[in-house]
Amino acid sequence: MSSSPTPRRRSALVQRAALKGAGDYIALVLLDGKLVFQYDSGSGPAIIVSNRTSQPSMVHHRSHRLAKEGSLVVNEGIAVKGISPGSSRGLNLQLPLYLGGVNDFIDIPRSLGIQKGFVGCITEVELNGEPFDLVTSAIGNSNVQECTDIAPCEKEPCENGATCLTISNSLYKCVCTEEYTGIHCETLVGPCLSAEPCENGGSCLPIGADAYQCMCPLGFSGLNCEKNVTLEDGAYFSGSGYLTLPKMTIPRRRGTSSDKEVLSFRFRTTDTDGLLLFQGAPEGEDGLRQDFIAISLKGGYIEFSYNLGSGPAEIVSRSRVNNGQEHTVVVSRMRKEGMLMIDDGAEILGESQGTLQMLNIQGNLYLGGAPDINLLTGSRFTEGAEVCINDLIVQVGDMDPVSVNFKDSAEGGVNVADCVV
C-alpha cells in the first residue's frame, strides 16, 4: 500500500481496515508527526514507526506486509521493518478500507494511540502496486472535500508554540519562542548552540534545555572532549560509545565452517545490561535476521549469543559479573556448538538452532557498543555498557593466539576513554 498524504495536524488516523471493529486490523496513523504502520493478525500487533518526523507538507509512504513481516518507507528513505508476535500469519478483514478516519471511533484499538481523523489531503493511493481510484471505488464518505490549495499557515508548519506569519499564498515564516530555533522552530536552543562546548571535533547532543553530552571522536574523551586518550591500559566505555575494529580482527576463511574461533578478554563493570562485543551486519544496514556474534550483559550475567541464520544460540553465565571486580570471559564457537567460560570456571555449552553451520558476517567488530545500535543489531540490543575492556585475544583454527592492540588496530570510535587502573 502506498499513498501521499499532506498532513495538517501531527496526530491522526490516515488509513484503517478491520474485522468488524475488533480482532484483526491494519492501519496507518500519524502520531506526534511520525507515520506508524500497525497490523494485528490475531496474536498481537506489529508497530512500525517511521524514522523521520513528517513535516506538515507532502509525504509519500509505502507500507508492505507479508505474513508476519512488515515494512514502512517514508519519502524514499530507509525501510523500517517489524514483525508481529505469536504464530498467526493471515489477516481476516471484513470491514471496508477507511481513509482519513472511520465512522465509529469507539472501535479503534487502543494500541493505535489516536482518536482523531486526518485533516489534509490524501492522493496517489496504490494497493498491491495498482493505482486506486478514490472516486469510483468509494462506497461512502462523510465530510470529504476536494483537495485545494491551502494557505501555508493552515498546514500548521511551525512547532513548539511558534507563531506562523503568512507572507504570500505559498510562503510563510515561523516566529520562534526564545527556547527554539530553525525554519520550523524544531531545534531546541541550549548549550550546544549557544556555547559550542565540544572540542577536538566532538559533536554536541542536547539533553533537555540546559544539559548536553559531547560525542567525542577516537583519541579524545572528557566532558568536552578535552582529554587525550592513549588506550594503553584498555578501553573504557560509558554506555554511549563504541570502538571499531576491522572485520578481519577475527580472520575467518571463506567457505569453511570447520575452524574453531576462540575469543577472550578481561573486563570490569557494575552495569546490569549492555553490549560488550558485536559483529554482524555492515554499518548502516538493518541487522534483523542477519548472522551475528555477540557478548553482552543481561541482568548482570554474561550472555554469549550468535546466529548462523536458522535461530540463535544464547549461552548465559551461572553467576553475575557486575560486581566491579575484574573478570575474564572466554567464548568459543565451531559450527553450531558454542562455549562460555568465566574466570577459569566450568565450561557452559550451547548450540544454535536449525541446520545452518557457517557464520556469514560482513561488518566490523565493535567493543562497548555499536553505531546506531538498534538498527545494526536488529533491535536485539539497545544500549552499550559502562565497562572497561582490555587484553582482547583472538584465535581461529590452527593460528597462534593474537593479542589485539586497541591503539594500533582501531579504525574509529566514539566516547572511548582510557581505563583507570
Domains and CATH numbers, the chain: 2-131 (2.60.120.200), 153-188 (2.10.25.10), 191-228 (2.10.25.10), 235-418 (2.60.120.200)
pLDDT at 137 over 90: no
- CB burial of 304-316 (b: ≥16 within 10 Å; e: otherwise) equals bbbbbbeebbbbe
Say whether pLDDT at 91 is over 90. no
Helix (H, G, I), strand (E, B) or coil at 317: coil
Q: What does the pLDDT look like over 146-187, one tens digit per residue?
A: 776 667 787 778 988 999 999 887 788 999 998 888 888 988
Lowest mean pLDDT among 165-169, 328-332, 391-395: 165-169
The residue that leads in pLDDT, 330 or 154, is 330
Instruction: Please provide residue 414's backbone torsions phi and psi, each rounded to the nearest 5 degrees.
Output: -140, 135
With bands split at pLDDT 50, 70 and 90, how would you rate the model's confidence at 14? low
Contacts of 326 (CB under 8 A, 6+ apart): 266, 267, 268
Report the pLDDT value the prediction gives residue 100, as an integer from 0 to 100: 82
Q: Is the pLDDT of residue 132 over 80?
A: no
**pLDDT at site 5:** 62
Cβ 330 vs Cβ 343: under 8 Å? no
Average pLDDT of every residue of the chain: 86
Express each pLDDT in 185-229 by its tens digit.
988 788 888 788 999 999 998 887 778 999 999 999 999 999 999
pLDDT class for 18, splitting at 50, 70, 90?
Answer: low
Mean pLDDT of 136-144: 82
Residue 65 pLDDT > 90:
no
The pLDDT, as a whole number, for residue 294 is 98
- Cβ neighbors of 110 (< 8 A, separation 6 or more) are none
Closest listed residue to residue 317, CA positions, set 282, 288, 293, 341: 341
